[in-house]
Amino acid sequence: MNEYKWERFGEKHYYHNVATGRIVGAVSKIALQEVWISLVYIGEYSFTVQDEKHLGQYISLDFAKEATQRFWDIQNRTLLE
């Protein structure tokens, strides 16, 4: 079972896999605004723009974090073979 945890570094909040340390999501403010953006990293090997999936813009940090967590909850319930 995958377990995830939030860590804050500066103004960014990273969602990572506790067992591997791999970052799977990030939440940050859009420059000079009070709007939060949520991203998930869906690539297997790289940390590039092609691996980013934008989940949207949110009015608060809590809503942005919730979107990230919900994305990975759904992905972890999906069987891939």
- 7, 16 contact by CB (below 8 A): yes
| pLDDT for the residue numbered 4 | 94
**Contact criterion met (CB below 8 Å) for 71 and 54:** no
What residues does each domain of the chain span?
4-77
pTM above 0.85, yes or no: no
SS (H, E, C) the chain: CCCEEEEEECCEEEEEECCCCCEEEEEEECCCCCCEEEEEECCCCCCCHHHEEEEEEECCHHHHHHHHHHHHHHHHHCCCC
What pLDDT, on a 0 to 100 scale, did the predictor assign at position 76?
A: 84
| pLDDT tens per residue across span 6-51 | 999 998 999 999 999 989 999 999 888 889 999 999 876 666 667 8
